[in-house]
Chain A
Amino acid sequence: MGSDTTHNRRSALRHANPTLLQAFLVQYRVIKALMMREIHTRYGRENIGFLWVIGEPILFCAGVAIVWTAIRPSHEHGLPMTAMVVTGYIPLTMYRHTMARSIKAYAVNSTLLFHRLVTPLDIIIARTILEIFGTILAGVIVLFGCISLGYMEQPQDWGLIFLSTGLTIYFCLAFSMIIAALTERSDLLEKAMGIFSYLSLPFTGAFVMVEWVPPHYRWILQLSPLSNCIEMLRTGQFGIHVVTYYSVSYILTSCTILMIIGLYMTKNIRPHIDLV
């Protein structure tokens, strides 16, 4: 080793050949650093700064909830409009925002790959988690805002609300890995993501309940993991007042398959990343 590597902490050697535990610690550190960096590059230090992480989704969720509450009938199919909008838009925002942020996520962050400790998996996890974090905080604020202002009843079953949120996060993580890898490989897909995001809206189940759909078309929504999650969320909100169609085992299985595909694609994405 060099003559003045007495500063052990500064030595690059300690990052070489890590044990499994050390590798996890490095990954944790890198993801944290990436999230801090992302907050600074995206929101800067002006005005409310990093609070925009919550601000963006909250404007979206609250805006839609207010408009729909104002212009639509107060009940649709016997269900209160505000609660329908809030339970639909929060998961939908998480899905759309994580997807939007994962498009070409590696190309725009390619300077980070100069540091060998940073991997594509770290980049996509950091980006997605930051977006999920913002949506959840926004969701909590909107939910409690609506409840305390009297536009919405308290959820009937908090357990289902938490479980559904957890599964939605799982789905968003897996899905954003796949989108990040696909858009990195193909410019055509990158251009097509806008229309895909729009066309996928009916299949998210954010605007409808499966029960409202004619029985022989219900399978389409039941195939969508996000629709399953939102059905579960609404069961938690409305309790026995609604008939819902969801399967926890289907969500777990489909999302795990998506996650395996996503991890596999992320592992092999490195040669396809356009460097600056």
Chain B
Amino acid sequence: MNDFVKCIDLTKRFHVGKTSRLVLDKVNLDVRKGDKVGILGRNGAGKSTLIKLIGGVEQPTSGKIHRGMTVSWPLAFSGAFQGSLSGHDNLRFICRVYDLDYKETLEYVEGFAQLGKQFYDPVKTYSSGMHARLAFALSLAIEFDCYLIDEVIMVGDARFAQKCEDELFTKRADRTLLIVSHSTDFIKSTCNRSVLIYDRKIHSCSSVEEGIEKYHLL
């Protein structure tokens, strides 16, 4: 089966006014089923852009992305939610779009995110940790094969870390993960592969340790 995610000669150029900036230049990446890929790189290297391209939020300037498995939306600090709506309204929207059972999803998300009364407040009033909990709960309510995680996982408290451990890394151990993080300890403990983004290219590393070492030298 071709159940992998593949980026072929992916190029992304951003236009700002009259100038344009090349962020990713003909990069290639193969992600096989079950891979846990840690994406490392300095600020502005293009990590989030890569995640957004794979998630289909941004469109590549050229190149192709083959998605042989179902890929989640990027779990990040911005996007995916309407700030003026409550977490509950966002849940209802996602239930309608993905045709989920409302009651079942509500139960799951309330149990996972544990936002209490604030679940009914506008999302823009949430702290980053609460935002992360809602984002995880909602995306785990849909069974994707591949989850794209952009930083958010680090902001949660100890209890949330435990929930993620149970729900994502234990129960869904067979899933594919693409994780952007600056926490090398976290990458070391969860990933079995790492790639480094610098000079607009993706550099694959033979091991997670090697990737982290190179990352410190950047």
B149 to chain A, nearest CB (A): 14
Q: Tell me the bound Cα distance from A105 to B153 in angstroms.
A: 31
Residues of A within 8 A of B174 (CB): 2-3
- Is A276 an interface position by the 8 A CB rule? yes
Are the CB atoms of B97 and A30 closer together than 8 Å? yes
Are the CB atoms of B96 and A36 closer together than 8 Å? yes
B68 to chain A, nearest CB (A): 10
Give the contact stretch, choosing among B24-32, B137-145, B181-189.
B137-145
* Most chain A C-beta atoms within 10 Å of own C-beta, residue among B97, B142, B171: B97
Give the contact stretch, choosing among A111-119, A161-169, A233-241.
A111-119
Give the contact stretch, choosing among B35-43, B51-59, B193-201, B209-217.
B51-59
- Is B110 an interface position by the 8 A CB rule? no
Identify B172's interface contact among A2, A11, A30, A116, CB under 8 A: A2
Are the CB atoms of B70 and A15 closer together than 8 Å? yes
Contacts A12-B144, A275-B79 hold; do A116 and B73 have CB atoms under 8 A apart?
yes
Contacts A7-B143, A13-B70, A276-B79 hold; do A29 and B99 have CB atoms under 8 A apart?
yes
Are the CB atoms of A10 and B143 closer together than 8 Å? yes
Are the CB atoms of B171 and A4 closer together than 8 Å? yes
Look across to chain A and name the residue whose beta carbon is closest to the beta carbon of B101.
Answer: A9
- Is B94 an interface position by the 8 A CB rule? yes
In A32-84, which residues have CB < 8 Å from any B CB? 32-33, 36-37, 40-41
Are the CB atoms of A117 and B143 closer together than 8 Å? no
Are the CB atoms of B143 and A114 closer together than 8 Å? no
Residues of B within 8 A of A15 (CB): 70, 98
Q: Tell me the bound Cα distance from A223 to B145 in angstroms.
A: 54
The 0/1 profile, CB within 8 Å of A marked 1, for residues 70-87 of chain B is: 101110001111101100
Look across to chain B and name the residue whose beta carbon is closest to the beta carbon of A7.
Answer: B143
Residues of A within 8 A of B82 (CB): 37, 41, 111-112
Chain A contact residue count (CB 8 A cutoff): 34
In B139-189, which residues have CB < 8 Å from any A CB? 141-145, 171-175
Are the CB atoms of B79 and A270 closer together than 8 Å? no
- Is A214 an interface position by the 8 A CB rule? no
Q: Tell me the bound Cα distance from A276 to B72 in angstroms.
A: 18
Look across to chain B and name the residue whose beta carbon is closest to the beta carbon of A3.
Answer: B174
- Is A215 an interface position by the 8 A CB rule? no
B23 to chain A, nearest CB (A): 13
Q: Tell me the bound Cα distance from A244 to B99 in angstroms.
A: 49
- Is B100 an interface position by the 8 A CB rule? yes
Are the CB atoms of A33 and B70 closer together than 8 Å? no
Q: Tell me the bound Cα distance from A114 to B75 in angstroms.
A: 9
The 0/1 profile, CB within 8 Å of B marked 1, for residues 115-131 of chain A is: 11110000000000000
The 0/1 profile, CB within 8 Å of A marked 1, for residues 81-115 of chain B is: 11011000100111011111100100000000000
Residues of B within 8 A of A7 (CB): 104, 143
B121 to chain A, nearest CB (A): 13
Q: Tell me the bound Cα distance from A30 to B72 in angstroms.
A: 17
Look across to chain B and name the residue whose beta carbon is closest to the beta carbon of A271.
Answer: B59
Residues of A within 8 A of B78 (CB): 111, 276
Q: Tell me the bound Cα distance from A47 to B97 in angstroms.
A: 28
Are the CB atoms of B85 and A118 closer together than 8 Å? no
Residues of B within 8 A of A13 (CB): 70, 143, 145
Are the CB atoms of A111 and B79 closer together than 8 Å? yes
Identify A2's interface contact among B84, B94, B101, B145, CB under 8 A: B145
Interface residues of A (CB under 8 A from B): 1-5, 7, 9-13, 15-16, 29-30, 32-33, 36-37, 40-41, 110-118, 270-271, 275-276
Q: What are the 3 closest A-B residue pairs judged by CB atoms, nearest first?
A: A33-B96, A12-B70, A114-B80
Q: Knowing that A30-B97, A275-B57, A276-B78 are A-B contacts, what are 4 other residue pairs whose CB atoms are under 8 Å apart, sorted by A's residue number?
A: A12-B98, A36-B96, A112-B82, A115-B80
Identify 7 residue pairs between A and B in the complex whose beta-carbon atoms are under 8 Å apart, listed by A's number.
A2-B143, A10-B104, A10-B142, A10-B143, A36-B93, A115-B73, A275-B57
